[in-house]
């Protein structure tokens, strides 16, 4: 053991030669595969990092697109609701206008019918009054009036009454 501790140039030479031979063998057979495995591992890690970065960018892009689509859908929904409200109001106004028009026409028709009925009843009443007046006059005079004369008197009386010239 003493020889290992004391420096001997021969032992040093063989130790250096053995070390260099072992280093050459390691470089030739182990160092290349080790370095290529490390390089492959490094390239794989870089590719995974790049893929993760790309996936993150894609997810952010998709998230932005979804947010834009949601905003667009909300805007379309709001527009559809506003359009439905406008159409409902327009339809309500149309129905209201139609109902008012129908009501006005019905009032006018009823007023016209009432006026016609009033005229008919007034004419009938005038004829009845004229007939009763002739009958009363006939009874007063106690004589019978000729039907032609009666009709002429009745027509004259109706003309006067319709023109507002009759006595009341």
pLDDT tens-digit readout, 95-122: 999 999 999 999 999 999 999 999 999 8
pLDDT in tens, 28-87: 888 888 888 999 999 999 999 999 999 999 999 999 999 999 999 999 999 999 999 999
> For 165, which DSSP code?
-
Residues 17-26, mean pLDDT to the nearest whole number? 93
Strand blocks (E) in 37-168:
none
Find all residues with CB under 8 Å of 133, minimum gap 6, and list them.
Answer: 157
145 or 162, greater pLDDT: 162
pTM for the whole thing? 0.40
Closest CA to 133 of 110, 111, 156, 115: 156
* Pair 126, 161: CB distance under 8 Å: yes
pLDDT over 90 at 88, yes or no: yes
What's residue 3's pLDDT? Answer: 65
Half-sphere exposure of 74 (CA within 13 A, CB side): 6
């Amino acid at each position: 053991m003493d020889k290992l501790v004391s420096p001997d140039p021969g032992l040093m030479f063989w130790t250096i030669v053995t070390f260099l031979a072992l280093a050459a063998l390691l470089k030739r057979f182990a160092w290349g595969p080790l370095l290529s495995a490390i390089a492959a591992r490094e390239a794989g890690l870089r590719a995974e990092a790049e893929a993760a970065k790309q996936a993150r960018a894609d997810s952010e892009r998709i998230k932005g697109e979804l947010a834009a689509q949601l905003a667009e859908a909300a805007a379309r929904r709001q527009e559809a609701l506003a359009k439905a409200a406008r159409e409902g109001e327009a339809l309500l106004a149309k129905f209201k206008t139609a109902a008012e028009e129908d009501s006005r026409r019905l009032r006018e028709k009823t007023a016209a019918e009432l006026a016609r009925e009033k005229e008919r009843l007034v004419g009938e009443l005038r004829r009845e009054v004229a007939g009763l007046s002739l009958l009363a006059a006939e009874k007063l005079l106690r004589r019978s009036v000729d039907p032609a004369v009666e009709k002429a008197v009745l027509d004259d009386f109706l003309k006067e009454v319709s023109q507002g010239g009759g006595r009341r």
